[in-house]
Each structure stands twice: as structure tokens, then as C-alpha cells.
Structure 1
Amino acid sequence: MIELCIEGGSIIFYLILACDVLFWIFLVGGLAARYAAGWRTLGGGLLLCVPLIDVVLLGATVVSIQDGAGPTVWHGLSAAYLGLTVVYGHRTVRWADAKFARRFGAGAAPPRPRLHGRAAVVDAWKSWFRFLLAYAISVGMIFGLVALVGTLDKGAPLLVWLNPLTKVLVYSLVWPVTTTIWPGKAPEPEPQPATENG
């Protein structure tokens, strides 16, 4: 079995970086093949590799710990990273797909809506709950790795990431709360040009 416990798990850190780079390579390459070159089959194949990156990272992290590598902050970072990519990865793919589609002949971008009132409040809370979901997945994966290690004492390096993740979750709550209190008003309608009679 491949040894993944080099230098206290630092290889996991480099694997996270590699997975992030590969995410963008497969994403941009797949969309370029689909829209720029017209190779839809190749483009689709490359895009299918995007979610497999998370599977590889998760598998490598689990194997690393099961092979006897002492849990490190990098194993915890892997769990935190995976929680974020599970929630935001698909949205990133959809965003990039729309960009490429418009760039290569599918029409102009629709005007970005100016959110105000109830729509702004709903959008702000949706964004926060989306991060809450990513937070829950990350925390679940971290404690899953702790369970593999056996005890909270041994898994202490993994739990380091609970602090920054929780801080971001709490601090980001300021935005939806503020938007709820001050949702903004609809912009004033632009004055219509006067028309001459006769």
C-alpha cells in the first residue's frame, strides 16, 4: 500500500494543493473542449473528473490515517476543504459553465438583479445557510477522522480546524442579520423623458 504518512502527514497538504489545481485544470479544460473546440464528449469526460478529485482526496486522507500516520492539522484541513468543495464545487462549475456558454456564442449575460427588500434578505440567509451546510459537512468529516484515530486526545490535531471554521460561521452571520434589519429600498424609477404633444 502506498505510504502516505511522510513527514507527519505533510504529503496531505501537497495533495490538497494538487487537488485544487486539478479542479481548475479539469474544469477549464472541460469547458474549453465543450464550447471553444466543440468536443462535447471530451469536455463531458473532463468535467466528470471534477467530482472524482474529492473522492481521491478523501480516500488518500483515510488511507493515510489507517496506515498509521499520526493525525496532523493537514488531515483536518483535508476534511475542512472537502466540506467546502462538496457544497461550493457544483456552484462553481455551474457559474463557469454559464460564463463559457455566453463567451462562445450563447448570448449576452443577463443583467445582475439589484436585490433589495425581502429578496435581499432571502438571498443573504440562503448564502449563510449554504455555508452552514459546508460547515456541518466539514465538522462531520473531522469527527469521522477522529473516530478512525480512536480518541479525542489522539485526534486533537484534527480538531484545530473547528476554531477557524466556527469563527467564520459566526462572523458571517453579521451579513444576513444586518440585511434583515436594513434590507435596502428599491431604487427610484428613472424619470421618463417628456414627450412633446403635436
Structure 2
Amino acid sequence: MACEIGFWVVLAAGLAARYLLGRRRLGAVLLAGVPLLDLVLLVASYFDLRAGATAGAQHGLAAVYIGFSVVFGPSIIRWADDRFAHRFAGGPPPRRPPKSGRAYMRYEWREFGKACITWTITCGLLLAIIVFVDDPDRTGHLWAWIRSMTTMLGIWVIWPIVATVSSSGGKDEPSRDGS
């Protein structure tokens, strides 16, 4: 929970430094630190398990956070940056994702691809912790996280499939940003 709060605090601090204080380099450093919070959480979880703790929700969530931050973090930061720039620095209106047509289909498949990479990173980290801790009685809860992530991926694939079916033969709608 603290790392999730830290994510948003560091994100807000990076954007504030960049746009409100005019300190672009400080803002960039702070924004680069966002995924480091998740890495700290993952390392702390690993050492907690190595010290004899039994895996709980917080240990699995640490792996999810790092997978999510690595893959979706840049687009979340870009999303927030676009809105902050528009609101506080006279930037252009933020771009919106397409709502129909082939562009919508491509967007949904790209997002699903990102979800697949998140799944790979998260499950890889969970498996690595399970192997390194080497105590099935204490790491059993981490297998539940792998099952949950797999279920999430199975549900997520519905969106690009629906986008593909709904955009069959459809034309791209013009985007609001002119591209």
C-alpha cells in the first residue's frame, strides 16, 4: 500500500517539479524513480521471505507492481504528463484512444500485448521467488497470484477480440489530435 501511495506521490512530485517549478531535469529524475519504488518493495518482499516469513498478499502484490510499473508505467506517466502539460503549461489537449475502426482494434491488441508482457514479468518474478525461497509451505500463496494473473490475462483478451470483430471492414475514425 505504501508503495502504491509512493507511486502517485512521486509521479505528482515529478510533474510538479517539471511544470510548476520549471525544473525539467528534477522532474525527469523523480519520474524515473517511480518504478524504483516497486523494485524496492519486491526486494524487501524477497528478503522477508528468505528470513522465514510466509508469503502473503503483499508479497505477490510486490511482483504485480513491478510488472505493471515496468510495462504500463511509461504510458501512465505519459498520460499524466499530457494532462498536466495541458492544464498547467498551455500544452495541447491530450490525445484520446480511438473508439472504433481498425485504429481501435490495433490499440486494444497493443494494450493486450502489454498485459502479456506484464504477465510474463510478474509470473517470472513470482516463480523466481518460489524457486529461491525453496519452501513450498511458505510460498504457496504466490501460486495463487500466478493463477490470478493468468485469469486476468484470459479476461483481458476479450477486449481485443471484440475490437477485432467490431472493426471488421470498418474504417478508422479521424482522431481528435489530427493523426
Shorter-chain TM band: 0.7 to 0.9
Do the aligned partners of 1:65 and 1:148 also contact (CA within 8 Å) in 2? no
Q: CA deviation at 1:47?
A: 2.3
Instruction: Tell me: CA distance 1:110–1:27, structure 2 relative to 1, closer, same or farther (3 Å).
Output: closer
More helix by share: 2
Q: Which has the larger radius of gyration?
A: 1
Q: CA deviation at 1:163?
A: 2.3
Match of 1:85 in 2: 69
Instruction: Tell me: CA distance 1:54–1:113, structure 2 relative to 1, closer, same or farther (3 Å).
Output: closer
Instruction: Tell me: CA distance 1:82–1:112, structure 2 relative to 1, closer, same or farther (3 Å).
Output: closer
Letter in 1 for 2:42: L
1:142 aligns with 2:139: no
Percent identity over the alignment is 38
**Aligned residues: CA RMSD:** 2.4
1:75-125 CA distances to partner (integer Å, 9 max, x unpaired)? Answer: 122212221122111211111111111222343315636453322221111
Report the Cα distance in structure 1 between the residues aligned to 2:32 and 2:98, rounded to whole angstroms: 34
- Partner SS state of residue 42, structure 1: helix
Match of 1:129 in 2: 113
Larger CA deviation: 180-189 vs 126-135: 180-189
Match of 1:13 in 2: none
Instruction: Tell me: CA distance 1:188–1:72, structure 2 relative to 1, closer, same or farther (3 Å).
Output: closer
Name which of 104, 117, 123 aligns with 2:88: 104
1:136-159 CA distances to partner (integer Å, 9 max, x unpaired)? Answer: 111101101101221545421111
Q: CA deviation at 1:132?
A: 0.8
Q: Which structure 1 residue ranges, 4+ long, deviate > 6 Å from structure 2?
A: none
Larger CA deviation: 150-159 vs 161-170: 150-159
- Give unmatched runs, 5+ long, in structure 1: 1-16, 190-198
Name which of 23, 26, 36 aligns with 1:39: 23
Do the aligned partners of 1:26 and 1:47 also contact (CA within 8 Å) in 2? yes
Letter in 1 for 2:127: F
Match of 1:181 in 2: 165
Instruction: Tell me: CA distance 1:142–1:187, structure 2 relative to 1, closer, same or farther (3 Å).
Output: closer
- Partner SS state of residue 33, structure 2: helix
1:19-69 CA distances to partner (integer Å, 9 max, x unpaired)? Answer: 111111111112112111223343334323322212211210111112222
Report the Cα distance in structure 1 between the residues aligned to 2:4 and 2:43, rounded to whole angstroms: 16
1:28 aligns with 2:34: no
Letter in 2 for 1:150: D
Match of 1:5 in 2: none
Match of 1:60 in 2: 44
- Give unmatched runs, 5+ long, in structure 2: 175-179
1:119 aligns with 2:103: yes
